[in-house]
């Protein structure tokens, strides 16, 4: 275990200062998305790019995941993929709820049954 420990723990402090600065810059960028009022797909794409970059650097460098063995990396990072299924199912469900609400709650006096 000692070889592993040596590999994962002896980085110069400057590594962390660089990542710290990088996270500052990325946060500033994501704040700019709101400040300059980007909308729709441009906004969502930029938000997601900066979010995943920040999350990636925090997990890989600050949490030392980059230097862990593959057994631990996969045990921790693969299970959250299941969340994509949850997100997919819930967005289908939300769309359906929105549709029924729009039909039955918003325009109760609108003509129905003509299509």
Partner 1 sequence: MAESSADVTGWNQITHDWSADKQTFEVPWGKAMMWIFLLSDTFIFSCFLTSYMTVRMSTVEAWPIPSEVFALTIAGAHIPLLLIAIMTFILISSSGTMAMAVNYGYRGDIKKVVWLMLATAAFGASFVGMQVFEWSKLIEEGVRPWGNPMGAAQFGSCFFMITGFHGLHVSAGVIYLLIVAKRVNSGFYMERYGNLEMVEIAGLYWHFVDLVWVFIFAFFYLW
Binding interface with partner 1 (CB under 8 A): 1, 3-5, 9-11, 13, 16-17, 19-20, 23-24, 27, 30-31, 33-35, 37, 43-44, 47-48, 50-51, 54-55, 58-59, 61-64, 68-72, 74-76, 79-80, 83, 86-87, 90-91, 93-95, 97-98, 101-102, 105-106
Question: Distance between CA atoms of 64 and 62, rounded to whole angstroms?
Answer: 5
Q: How far is the CB of 69 from partner 1 (least distance, A)?
A: 6
Instruction: Compute the residue count for the chain.
Output: 115
Q: How far is the CB of 22 from partner 1 (least distance, A)?
A: 10
Q: Which is nearer to partner 1, 101 or 112 (CB)?
A: 101
Residues 6+ apart with CB under 8 A from 76: 65
Strand ranges inside the chain, DSSP E:
none
Q: Which is nearer to partner 1, 80 or 111 (CB)?
A: 80
Q: How far is CA 10 from CA 23, 34, 55, 68, in A?
A: 21, 39, 23, 14
């Amino acid at each position: 275990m000692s070889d592993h420990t040596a590999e994962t723990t002896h980085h110069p402090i400057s590594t962390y200062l660089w990542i710290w600065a990088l996270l500052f810059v990325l946060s500033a960028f994501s704040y700019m998305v709101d400040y300059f009022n980007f909308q729709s797909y441009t906004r969502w794409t930029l938000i997601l790019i900066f979010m995943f970059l920040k999350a990636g650097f925090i997990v890989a460098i600050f949490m030392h995941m980059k230097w862990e063995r593959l057994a631990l990396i996969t045990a921790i990072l693969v299970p959250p993929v299941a969340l994509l299924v949850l997100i997919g199912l819930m967005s289908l469900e939300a769309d359906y709820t929105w549709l029924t609400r729009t039909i039955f709650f918003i325009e109760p006096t609108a003509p129905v049954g003509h299509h």
